[in-house]
């Protein structure tokens, strides 16, 4: 039994020192944006519900994205500290006045995953995202990019959608039919699985930042399927704002909502090296933040994830810091301005 005198002394100390109510970025529980830890069934009064999927069993290159959720949560504490999580700030990028007291974030912890059982892991992600999405705006922290497919499905089922568009920010298209090593369900096939699902179609999939190499005849495939493809060449030639505006409108056209998935390998590895499949010549951090600023203002966006952060490959911790800032930016534009 705890000594009540010690409890009262602690309470008296907190009353005497106003600073005792300020939690430093590196102190306390590591939840996203220092949000309240909540059970996924208890989100009735919550705006944003954060879940982690610490799973990288479907990765084809470097493992380590299983550590992404914890790293992103830890990095997000800086923005919680800046705002005291409840209070006003000026966003120096957008010039907006931001009031984080207008948004309630809860962290539901990590969903159960089964590294040797992809099917059961996918079922778990779908069930937990669906439960969160019935009550709040779901945000999933990955994990490899395969996790997006069951998360997308859970969101679509929760809102009883006929169709859900997808905006994918990524270095790779993830439209592979099958890997002779990893099969039909791996992180290179998630977008194909979404487009072929009951809720998706290539005509409502928009991809931003694609580069590197794809299968032979890929541009012909994109044209025939209706895939809205915006390569890094398009970003450079048209500008990121024009590309994002076009991408979100196409994903939202005729759909009930839009799911946003951000693969951190879309960002240039000189900025975000902590990922499993880095590709040179990617988005700058400024371009990446602009993507989330613009998507965050669109009413059709109803769910989001951030995938493929593998912190062990970035001793500077810059990758998870950017990942957290990207999600904070999206949430800010959705709920706190």
pLDDT of residue 186: 58
Give the residue among 91, 81, 27 at the shortest CA–CA distance from 332: 91
In tens, the pLDDT along 29-73 reads: 789 999 999 999 999 999 999 999 998 876 767 889 999 999 999
Residue 87: Cβ-neighbour burial (10 angstroms; 0-12, 13-18, 19+): exposed
In tens, the pLDDT along 146-181 reads: 999 999 999 999 999 999 999 999 999 988 776 665
Q: Which two tokens stand for residue 125?
A: 């992600």
Count Cβ neighbours within 10 Å for each residue of 40-59 and write b for 16 or more, e otherwise.
beebeebbbbbbbbbbbbbb
Residue-by-residue DSSP string for 17-72:
-GGGGPPPTTSS---GGGPEE--TT--TT-SEEEEEE---TT-SS---GGGHHHHH
pLDDT above 60 (res 84) = yes
Q: Which residue has the higher pLDDT, 175 or 203?
A: 203
Which whole number is the average pLDDT over 290-310?
Answer: 97
Which whole number is the average pLDDT over 88-93?
Answer: 87
**Residue positions forming the annotated binding site:** 145, 170, 172, 174, 263, 265
Give the residue among 24, 54, 25 at the shortest CA–CA distance from 114: 54
User: Does residue 72 contact residue 324 with C-beta atoms inside 8 Å?
Assistant: yes
In tens, the pLDDT along 208-223 reads: 999 988 889 999 999 9
pLDDT above 60 (res 273) = yes
**Residue positions forming the annotated binding site for Mn(2+):** 145, 170, 172, 174, 263, 265
* Domains, the chain: 23-336 (3.40.800.10)
> What is the value of pTM for the model shown?
0.92
Q: How far apart are CA 107 and CA 138, in angstroms?
A: 10
Confidence label for 1 from pLDDT (cuts 50, 70 and 90): very low
């Amino acid at each position: 039994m705890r000594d009540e005198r010690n409890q009262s002394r602690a309470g008296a100390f907190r009353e005497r020192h106003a600073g005792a109510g300020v939690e430093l970025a590196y102190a306390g529980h590591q939840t996203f944006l220092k949000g309240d830890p909540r059970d996924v069934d208890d989100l009735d009064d919550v705006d944003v519900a954060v879940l982690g999927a610490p799973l990288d069993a479907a990765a084809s290159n470097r493992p380590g994205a299983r550590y992404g959720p914890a790293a992103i949560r830890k990095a997000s504490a800086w923005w919680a500290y800046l705002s005291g999580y409840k209070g006003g700030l000026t966003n120096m990028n957008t010039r907006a006045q931001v009031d984080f007291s207008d948004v309630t974030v809860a962290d539901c912890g990590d969903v159960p995953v089964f590294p040797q059982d992809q099917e059961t892991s996918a079922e778990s992600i779908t069930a937990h995202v669906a439960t969160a999405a019935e009550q709040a705006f779901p945000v999933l922290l990955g994990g490899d990019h395969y996790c997006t497919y069951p998360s997308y499905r859970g969101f679509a089922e929760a809102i009883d959608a006929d169709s859900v568009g997808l905006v994918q920010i990524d270095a790779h298209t993830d439209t592979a039919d099958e890997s002779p090593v990893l099969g039909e369900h791996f992180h290179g096939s998630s977008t194909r699985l979404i487009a072929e699902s009951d809720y998706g179609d290539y005509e409502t999939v928009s991809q931003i930042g694609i580069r590197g190499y794809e299968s032979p005849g890929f541009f012909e495939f994109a044209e025939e399927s209706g895939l809205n493809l915006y390569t890094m060449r398009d970003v450079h030639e048209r500008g990121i704002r024009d590309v994002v505006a076009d991408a979100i409108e196409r994903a939202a056209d005729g759909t009930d909502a839009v799911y946003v998935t951000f693969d951190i390998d879309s960002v240039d590895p000189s900025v975000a090296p902590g990922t499993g499949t880095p590709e040179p010549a990617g988005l700058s951090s400024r371009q990446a933040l602009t993507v989330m600023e613009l998507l965050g203002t669109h009413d059709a966006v109803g769910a989001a994830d951030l995938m493929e952060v593998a912190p062990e490959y970035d001793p500077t911790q810059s990758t998870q810091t950017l990942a957290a800032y990207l999600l904070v930016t999206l949430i800010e534009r959705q709920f706190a301005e």
